């Protein structure tokens, strides 16, 4: 059980923006299924992100590019059903909004309608600002995403830190302001220099959510399976492990296999 007990009040986009104004840090984690989302929600996280990282974590793809809108809706629907307090935000996957603004709005409405999530996240800056305006006008809260944008991996060719150089850094700042003006309620800053993230955080009225962007962002996000150390070998500098479930689960499954092989499970008391 988490610290949530009796009356549960749903976290909204306005509540997230209020947290910045009040100086309260914002916690966000990914989830992709009903069971894990229920645990994360009960533990008190503010936002659950149904990330297109499901392409990697749940499907075993090398990038986030292959995952489809239909697949994201299935993952998001289970998470939305489990989250009674946390705001649930779903990534719009690659290809769902890049073709045209009309198609982007149509897919945004469909994703919210069919999954029940509370908002959507889009990668990109000024080039998607008008689309963000239209989605927000349709009544859907939007979170932006700048810095390392995994959907553009084929363009960048690397997952290295972004915006180290002055020109790219200034564009990122301008993009952040453009997303704010378009109506985003928050923006994720991924793998950018801490000093730049601090500047963006101070300049914006809306919250920044960092991942590999230093300690001065208004909130932080991690992939759940990463922070639980379920993905052996993935240890970027920004990741902190809060458990070691790969070892624990391996040991538990190994003990089960041993008990079955040795006829110790089930016992006479575990039958009908």
Q: How confident is the model at residue 160 (pLDDT cuts 50, 70, 90)?
A: confident
Q: How confident is the model at residue 151 (pLDDT cuts 50, 70, 90)?
A: confident
Q: What is the pLDDT of residue 1?
A: 46
Section 87-100 average pLDDT: 97
| pLDDT exceeds cutoff 60 at 6 | no
* pLDDT tens, residue by residue, 43-75: 999 999 999 999 999 999 999 999 999 999 999
Q: How confident is the model at residue 158 (pLDDT cuts 50, 70, 90)?
A: low
Q: What is the CA radius of gyration of the chain?
A: 20
* pLDDT tens, residue by residue, 241-253: 999 999 999 999 9
Q: Which residues contact 230 (CB under 8 A, 6 or more apart)?
A: 245, 246, 249
Stronger pLDDT, 156 or 27, i.e. the higher one? 27
Mean pLDDT, all residues of the chain:
95
Q: What is the pLDDT of residue 5?
A: 46
- 101 touches 131 (CB < 8 A): yes
The Cα 177–Cα 126 span in angstroms is: 9
Residues known to be catalytic: 190
Section 11-27 average pLDDT: 98
Q: What is the pLDDT of residue 234?
A: 86
The Cα 212–Cα 235 span in angstroms is: 12
Structure pTM? 0.94
* pLDDT tens, residue by residue, 187-216: 999 999 999 999 999 999 999 999 999 999
Domain boundaries, the chain: 13-241, 245-272
Q: Which CATH number fits domain 13-241: 1.10.3720.10, 3.20.20.60, 3.30.2080.10, 3.40.50.920?
A: 3.20.20.60
| pLDDT exceeds cutoff 50 at 261 | yes
CB count within 10 Å of CB 218 equals: 23
Section 98-115 average pLDDT: 97
């Amino acid at each position: 059980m988490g610290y949530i007990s009796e009356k549960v009040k749903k976290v909204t986009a306005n509540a997230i923006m209020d947290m910045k104004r009040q100086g309260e840090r914002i916690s966000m984690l990914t989830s992709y299924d009903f069971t894990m989302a229920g645990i994360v929600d009960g533990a008190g996280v503010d936002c659950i992100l149904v990330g297109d990282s499901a392409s990697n974590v749940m499907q075993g793809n090398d990038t986030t590019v292959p995952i489809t809108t239909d697949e994201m809706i299935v993952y998001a629907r289970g998470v939305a059903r489990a989250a009674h307090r946390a705001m649930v935000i779903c990534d719009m996957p690659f290809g769902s909004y890049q073709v045209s603004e009309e198609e982007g709005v149509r897919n945004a409405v469909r994703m919210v309608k069919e999954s029940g999530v509370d908002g959507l996240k889009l990668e990109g800056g000024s080039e998607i600002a008008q689309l963000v305006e239209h989605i927000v006008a349709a009544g859907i809260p939007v979170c932006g995403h700048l810095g390392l944008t995994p959907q553009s991996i084929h363009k960048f060719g690397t997952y290295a830190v972004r915006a180290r150089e002055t020109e790219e850094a200034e564009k990122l700042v301008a993009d952040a302001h453009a997303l704010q003006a378009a109506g985003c309620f928050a923006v994720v800053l991924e793998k950018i220099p801490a000093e730049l993230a601090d500047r963006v955080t101070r300049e914006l009225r809306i919250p920044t959510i960092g991942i590999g962007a230093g300690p001065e962002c208004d909130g932080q996000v991690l992939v759940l399976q990463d922070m639980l150390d379920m993905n052996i070998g993935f240890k970027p500098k920004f990741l902190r492990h809060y458990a070691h479930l790969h070892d624990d689960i391996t040991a538990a499954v190994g003990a089960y296999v041993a008990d079955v092989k040795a006829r110790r499970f089930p016992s006479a008391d575990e039958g009908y």
